[in-house]
Chains A and B, each alone.
Chain A
Amino acid sequence: MMDLRELYQDIILDHGRHPRNFRKIEHPTHTAQGHNPLCGDRVTLYLTMDGDHIADLAFEGRGCAISTAAASLMTEVLKGKTVAEARELFAHFHARVTGGEDSPLPEPLAEEMERLEPLTGVKAYPARVKCATLSWHALEAALKGGGGTAKTE
């Protein structure tokens, strides 16, 4: 049996209890919803883009400790990043939580990835992987535009 504390590390519990950037952006340039039909969790993501850079991002919604912490950490690491960097981080993060292959990241992104590392404990809990990726799927949907809903199913 895996130690639960590897899944629920202090940083996860902290971000789950006190999510950062948990607010609405009144006039976002991009927005999207994430919905996990399996558990009913919902997240709404707001972005303010400045050219190709993410000037501000925030989220609202309800979810478990994992999905809330994942959204919170995501908003922290993506502020100031370009769309290409955000996508590269997501690809890397996705590979890490699903146990897939990942390629080395360039130095600044590798540091950000370090901050997401506590979330990769979910790979031992297949049923919970979607909790960790929900907000990232919403980000994809927001960047594609159209204000759509990203579903994990």
Chain B
Amino acid sequence: MTTASPIISDLGRRRSPGGFDPRRLREEFPIFASNPGLVFLDTAASAQKPRTVIDGIADYYRNDYANVHRGVYHLSERSTDLFEEARQKTRAFLNAADQDEIVFVRNTTEAINLVAFSWGGSFVRAGDEVVVSDLEHHSNFVPWQMLCERGGGRLVMAPTDQTGEFDLTHFEALLSPRTRLVAITHISNVTGALLPVARIVELAHAKGAKVLIDGSQAAPRLPLDVQALGCDFYAFTGHKLYGPTGIGVLYARREMLSAMPPWQTGGGMIEQVTLARTEFQEPPHRFEAGTPDIAGAIGLGLAIDFVEALGRENIREHEADLTGYAVDRLSRIPGLRLLGAGQRQLGVMSFNLDGVHPHDVGTILDQHNVAVRVGHHCAQPLMDKLGLAGTVRASLGVYNDERDVDALVEATLAAREMFR
């Protein structure tokens, strides 16, 4: 199998706060060679893929492919080893205590739905409360709304203030012995705000509530330690972490998983099946019914190798530095309003131009080869709260540098000029 390390170690360790040179790193991402001039600022929606991930998946299919956990033959054992090695890499990535606490799913959405149906279905009863924030992506909002509709629980919204900043005091006041779960994002996919998740876990646990953290935006940007955080569930997706689509991760503490019934049932997750009853396997296999996305998991493992080779502290530094630069440059554009300005932001920025609809800005940016996301970013409760139809969102990855931000600024000025 191809490994990331030799290629990465070769890349410029000079310059730049992250200790790597994003411009040179781009050579590892074939998309940039295929699309010359592309200014890609939509990593929060999905990251581009390094060669090691793309080639590694193809290599696996060429050289090592067979179904997992089934065969007695060598090839199947090798495939199983690679699959389980990816689980081990994921465990280390999160600093989970045990690899059995890592469940492979399709994406963050599926991870959260798994918890909502399995754990929520068993432990959230009529009168119980689930607390979410109004910063949540729909994937960490709708499953809880549906759970409460099914079981008579109550969905409680921890509000942000008028600037979109999470209000910790207000949040604390909402907690009560009825609170069963707090489901909260680690980094907002709209404003890029970093939430005080460690404090949130402390406060929730003090009331006996469990905590699920949506790490979709944090996993590609921050060093993570679920044991230090103390959260009960942590969910993230592979495709935003420079890995393939179709693979995501649910981390859950062992005692949580042990108490949870299966969600989907079928092959690959059973101990014994008779006409009368079925006994299920222990976690994590109990939650992985059917043939999993083996190549996806292996690809995720390679993406983790890639990220670890760059160094996660380096990535954080790179993103923090570039976010600071972007916030500074964008703020100087007259009539531009940046969401969450003044908060601790990382890697994601949303803004509006006075009098110009985000869709029009997006089209003009696209004509300048600047790829951003426009719209409500699957966060309609937040848009409603802020009274916005949508925003223009620029988000960063390891391959971005100041020149990308400059291109964004230049294109935004052109949009402003056109709609003057």
Interface-central residue, B358, B383, B389, B418, by most chain A CB under 10 Å: B389
The smallest C-beta distance from A48 to any residue of chain B, in angstroms, reads 28
Residues of A within 8 A of B357 (CB): 62-65, 68
Q: Mark B349-361, 1 if CB is under 8 A from A, else 0.
A: 0000000111110
Is B363 among interface residues, defined by CB-CB distance under 8 A? yes
B376 sits at the interface (CB 8 A):
yes
Q: CA A27 – CA B380 in complex, angstroms?
A: 31
> Which residues of A from 57 to 92 have beta carbons under 8 Å from B?
62-66, 68
Which of A1-9, A99-107, A135-143 is the interface stretch?
A1-9
Asked if B390 and A7 sit within 8 Å, CB to CB, the answer is: no
Cα–Cα, bound, A17→B380 (Å): 25
A112 CB within 8 Å of chain B? no
Question: B419: which of A13, A127, A131 is its contact (CB, 8 Å)?
Answer: A13
Please pick, from B360, B376, B383, the residue contacting A65 in the complex, using a CB distance under 8 A: B360
Which residue, of A1, A64, A125, has the highest number of chain B Cβ atoms within 10 A? A64
* Residues of A1-47 contacting chain B, CB below 8 A: 1-2, 4, 7-8, 13, 16-17, 38-41
Complex Cα distance, B358 from A35, in Å, reads: 16
A62 CA / B356 CA spacing, docked (Å) = 11
Tell me whether A40 and B418 are in contact in the complex, defined as CB-CB below 8 angstroms, given that A1-B367, A4-B367, A66-B359 are known contacts.
no
Cβ-defined contact, A4 with B389, below 8 A: no
Q: Give 15 pairs: A residue, B residue, CB < 8 Å, sorted on A.
A: A4-B367, A8-B360, A8-B418, A16-B360, A38-B375, A39-B358, A39-B389, A39-B390, A40-B380, A40-B389, A62-B357, A63-B357, A64-B357, A68-B357, A128-B359
CB-defined contacts of B363 to chain A, threshold 8 Å = 4, 7, 125, 127-128
Known: A4-B418, A13-B419, A62-B389. Contact between A39 and B376, CB under 8 A? yes
Chain B: interface residue total (CB-CB under 8 A): 17
Task: Provide the bound-state CA to CA distance between A95 and B230, in Å.
Answer: 58
Contact residues of B between 54 and 80, Cβ < 8 Å to A: none
- In the complex with contacts A39-B389, A39-B390, A131-B418 CB distance below 8 A: no
- Partner pick for B389 among A2, A41, A128, CB 8 A cutoff: A41
Q: Which of B360, B364, B375 contacts A40 (CB 8 A)?
A: B375
Closest approach, in angstroms, between the C-beta of B397 and any C-beta of chain A? 22
Tell me whether B374 is interfacial, beta carbon within 8 Å: yes
Question: Which B residues, 66 to 107, have Cβ-Cβ distances below 8 Å to chain A?
Answer: none
Q: Are A39 and B418 in contact (CB under 8 A)?
A: no
| Extra 5 A-B pairs, beta carbons < 8 Å, given A39-B375, A131-B359 | A39-B390, A40-B383, A65-B356, A65-B419, A66-B359
| A134 vs chain B, min Cβ distance (A) | 11
Chain B neighbourhood of A8, CB < 8 A: 360, 418
* Given contact pairs A38-B375, A39-B390, A4 touches B359 in the complex (Cβ within 8 A): no
